Amino acid sequence: VKPMTPRCSVPKAVPVGKSASLHCYENEGFPKSTYSWYRNSEPLSPDSKSSTKSHNSSYTLNPATGTLVFHAVHKGDTGRYSCIATNDAGFAKCEEQEMEV
């Protein structure tokens, strides 16, 4: 079963240096969806250490739960975030939401 549009929660504004949690979830898809996050339409690597684009960023992305946690945000984390839920039957994307740091 193709995933339905996931529910995404993105904080509107986060003070520099604070942590931020972004959530993405849908429960219609079968098999269970895996989740990927995008900032300004660029995919976020599941591992912030290996990504060149986000070398200043420290975040943890859990593809199984759809949770993206920034441990300490900085100005460069500002942007439009969206999430895609994917399974064998297809994928669905939530609306982009702005997070300001």
* φ/ψ of residue 57, rounded to 5: -80, 140
- Assess if residue 65 is contained within a domain: yes
For residue 47, tell me if it sits in a domain. yes
For the stretch 12-48, pLDDT in tens is: 999 999 999 999 999 999 999 999 999 999 999 876 6
Lowest mean pLDDT among 25-34, 50-59, 62-71: 50-59
Domain count, the chain: 1
Which CATH number do you get for residue 35? 2.60.40.10
- For 91, the token pair is 């994928």
pLDDT tens string 72-101? 999 999 999 999 999 999 999 999 999 999
Cβ contact 89:79 at 8 Å: no
List the domain range (segments joined by +) for residue 50. Answer: 7-99
How high is the pLDDT of residue 45? 87
Spatial strand order of the sheet with 59-62 comes to: 7-9, 20-25, 67-70, 59-62
- Beta-ladder partners of 24: 8
Residue 1 lies in a domain: no
Does any domain span residue 72?
yes
Which pTM was predicted?
0.90
Q: What distances in angstroms separate CA 87 from CA 11, 19, 65, 98, one per listed residue?
A: 26, 29, 13, 26
Q: What is the pLDDT of residue 58?
A: 84
User: Is residue 80 a part of any domain in this protein?
Assistant: yes
